[in-house]
Amino acid sequence: MTKLSNRDRILIEGLKVVHAHGYAGASVRDIVSAAGVPQGSFTNHFTSKEAFCLEILDLYLAGGRELMAQTLRNDAVPPLTRLRLYIDATKDWLDRDQMRNGCLFGNFTAEATDHSEAIRERLVAIFAELQEAVADCLRAAVTAGELPADFNCADVAGFVVSSLQGASLLCKAERSPAPLRRFERVLFAQVLR
C-alpha cells in the first residue's frame, strides 16, 4: 500500500472537513489537524484556501464522474432507469452522514460564490457538466422511445439538476431524505411520464 503524501492527505481529509463544516466554517488549522500534518504543509502545497477549495471541488467531482459513468452514462441500462439509479445513488450518498452535509457543490454555491469568482466559475462549469450528462441520458431515452420525439431534453436536464440541488439542500435542512423522494416521485410521475 502506497503511503499518501502530505498534499494528498490534506486534500482527502480536508474535503471531509470542508464538507462537514462549510467553506467559512473550516479553518486551515482544522484541515491540517484532520490530515495529521504540520500547518506549514498547507502553505507548502496550496497558495490559498481558495486554491485548496478549487482542488477539493475537482476531487469531489471525480467521485461524481464515477457515479455518472455507472448510472447516467451506462449504455447497458435503459435510459430512464439510469436516471432513477443516479437519483437513488445521490440519496444513498447523502444518507451516509444522515443528510447532514448535503452536496458539496450546492453548499459552495450557497456559501462561497459571493467570496470567490474562481469558485463561482468552477461551479458553473461543474453544473453544466452534470446537466449535459442528464441531457445525454434524456436524449438516449428519446432514441429508445421512452420519451416523445419532441421532448426538450436540455430544459428538463436543467430542471433535474436544479431540482436535485434544491432537494439536497432541503434534505440537509430537514435531516431527511423526504425532499429527494418527493422530487423523484414528481419527476417520474409528472415530468417524464
pLDDT band at 57 (very low <50, low <70, confident <90, very high): very high
What would the grid cell of residue 72 be? 447516467
| Same domain assignment for residues 66 and 142 | yes
Shared domain check, 55 and 23: no
pLDDT score recorded for residue 1 = 67
Contacts of 9 (CB under 8 A, 6+ apart): 35, 36, 37
Q: Calculate the average pLDDT of the chain.
A: 95
- Judged against a pLDDT cut of 80, whether residue 52 lies above it is answered with yes
C-alpha cell at 12: 482527502
Position 59 scores a pLDDT of: 97
37 is in which domain, residue-wise? 1-46
> pLDDT of 21-48, one tens digit each?
999 899 999 999 999 999 899 999 999 9
User: Are both 65 and 22 inside the same structural domain?
Assistant: no
| % of the chain at pLDDT higher than 90 | 90
117 plus 63 within the same structural domain:
yes
Q: What is the CATH number of the domain that holds 149?
A: 1.10.357.10
**Span 170-187, mean pLDDT?**
95
pLDDT at 2 over 80: no
The number of folded domains in the chain is 2
The 10s digit of each residue's pLDDT in 58-94 is 999 999 999 999 999 999 999 999 999 999 999 999 9
0.85 surpassed by pTM: yes
| pLDDT score for 112 | 87
| CATH number reported for the structural domain that contains residue 9 in this entry | 1.10.10.60
Residues 27 and 110 in one domain: no
- Residues 58, 40, single domain; the answer is no
Same domain? For 80 and 112 the reply is yes
> What is the reported pLDDT for 4?
87
Q: Are residues 151 and 169 in the same domain?
A: yes
Q: Quick one: 185 and 122 in the same domain?
A: yes
State whether 40 and 78 are in the same domain.
Answer: no
Query: Which residues fall within 8 angstroms of residue 67, CB to CB, at 6 or more apart?
Result: 86, 89, 90, 93
Residues 82, 168, single domain; the answer is: yes
